[in-house]
Amino acid sequence: MAELNGNPVTLEDLQSLALTNYGHFTSMRMEDGTVRGLSLHLDRLVRDCRIVFGVELDREQTLAYIRKAAKGVTGVAGLRVTVFDPALDMGRPSDAKDPHILVNLRPAGAMPPPPLTAKTFNFTRDNAEVKHIGLHPQLRLRRDAQLAGFDDAVFIEPDGRVSEGGTWNLGFVDQNGTVIWPDAPVLPGTTMLLLRGLDAPKQITAPVRLADIPNMAAAFATNVTIGVRSVSAIDDVHFPQDHPVLAALRDAYAGIPGERL
């Protein structure tokens, strides 16, 4: 199911989105009409719209479109909100100042999924702070990782700092049980922000370099689709799948109440 500005979407409506691929989005996990971090998702849409289109997104109208699309949906579902301008001309992207709101729903998988393995690549995501729809570089590296026998990619900055995964934030647990979020250009994921707001376990943000990875006790990935997912290997470094800090993070995340739409 998909709606554009509250109305059924047509193929013509989606033409510019498909052909120019310019815009931004956020993805949510809806559970019985509630969303963890709903306010953070709306904050992201408003912030990114200023960056991508230079205009102020109507927060309440956007929420109204989300509510309309999700009305009557029960259980667990994935919900994506994409902001784009159907009138965008590739030759004049500076004229795109009328962003529309595309809301679509899809099935959501069980959480957490099985542990994943990742291969490192030297790469910096363009406009890392924005959840934009230009996913070709990440998907290309994800494909390269899978062809090499891994599940996904982890990005390394030119100075050797670890940043993030293909479409997820990356965290580590050190030998003292402290959670370390890499200090590098990353997307401020809503799941990561919710976890960072917890009182326990102890968490810090600090540079993590490629050479530091073998010294870590555990690694994990986070986003709204996977929650807290164990990373069992990065390159040839293997991690336990059942570290107690990861279990504590999963339990704490599950206990965060959702906000009602």
pLDDT in tens, the chain (261 residues): 899 999 999 888 888 888 888 999 999 999 999 999 999 999 999 999 999 999 999 999 999 999 999 998 989 999 999 999 998 888 888 988 999 999 999 988 777 789 999 999 999 999 999 999 989 999 999 999 999 999 999 999 999 999 999 999 999 999 999 999 999 999 999 999 999 999 889 999 999 999 999 999 999 999 999 999 999 999 999 999 999 999 999 999 999 999 999
Residues 141, 16 within the same domain: no
Domain boundary among 83, 106, 129: 106
140 located within any domain: yes
Owning domain of residue 244 = 116-256
Q: Which of 106, 125, 145 is the last residue of a domain?
A: 106
**Close Cβ partners of 191 (under 8 Å, ≥ 6 residues apart):** 36, 37, 169, 222, 223, 224, 227, 228, 253
Regarding whether 159 and 52 lie in a shared domain, the answer is no
**Is-above-0.75 flag for pTM?**
yes
Q: Residue written as tokens 């001309």?
A: 89
Phi-psi region of 72 (alpha: psi -120 to 50; beta: other; left: phi over 0): left
User: Of the candidates 72, 106, 140, which is a domain's last residue?
Assistant: 106
Domain count for the chain, please give it: 2
Instruction: Indicate whether 243 belongs to any domain.
Output: yes
| Residue 9, domain CATH | 3.30.470.10
The side-by-side arrangement of strands in the sheet containing 34-35 is 7-8, 2-4, 100-106, 76-84, 24-31, 34-35, 259-260
What the block records as the tokens of 26 is 């956020």
Same domain, 84 and 13: yes
Residues 94 and 194 in one domain: no
